Amino acid sequence: MHSNNIVVLRGRLSSEPKLRQLPSGATLTNLEVTTEIDGAAVSVPVVLESSNARLADGDAVVVTGHVRRRFFRAGGVTQSRTEVIAASVVKVSSRRSTARAIEKAVAALLE
């Protein structure tokens, strides 16, 4: 059986992107994307490896990527976080970039 873990998410950034430097030297951008499900707002944490995109609080975006659940220790307790690992984050206003990102995600589903 072949399975895929592919996400396409459309929503608005509910806060300013937060850059985080890892000990390895890599830079991660943490985003909170708010979308609606059955009329209720749902916040989805998104992680993007280094971003040169100019994103700001309130921007409408389309995110493609995959879901990951990670475990970590904080305060002596094991915790977990489920998040979307972004392959791309594009502003909805950029229709061509949005279409390319979605086409790439759909192509991965069909492989």
Extract the tokens encoding 91: 């502003």
Spatial CB neighbours of 23, under 8 Å, sequence gap ≥ 6:
none
Classify residue 2: in a domain, yes or no.
no
Residue 104: DSSP 8-state: H
Instruction: Report the SS3 class of residue 99.
Output: helix
Q: Domain with 34 in it: what CATH number?
A: 2.40.50.140
Classify residue 104: in a domain, yes or no.
yes
Classify residue 47: in a domain, yes or no.
yes
Give the number of other CB atoms < 10 A from CB of residue 51: 15
Question: For residue 20, what are the domain limits?
Answer: 7-110
Closest by Cα among 102, 62, 57, 106 to 84: 62
Number of domains in the chain: 1
Classify residue 1: in a domain, yes or no.
no
Could you tell me which residues are beta bridge partners of residue 49? 28
pLDDT in the model for residue 2: 61
pTM score of the predicted model: 0.85
Which segments of the chain have a pLDDT < 70? 1-3, 52
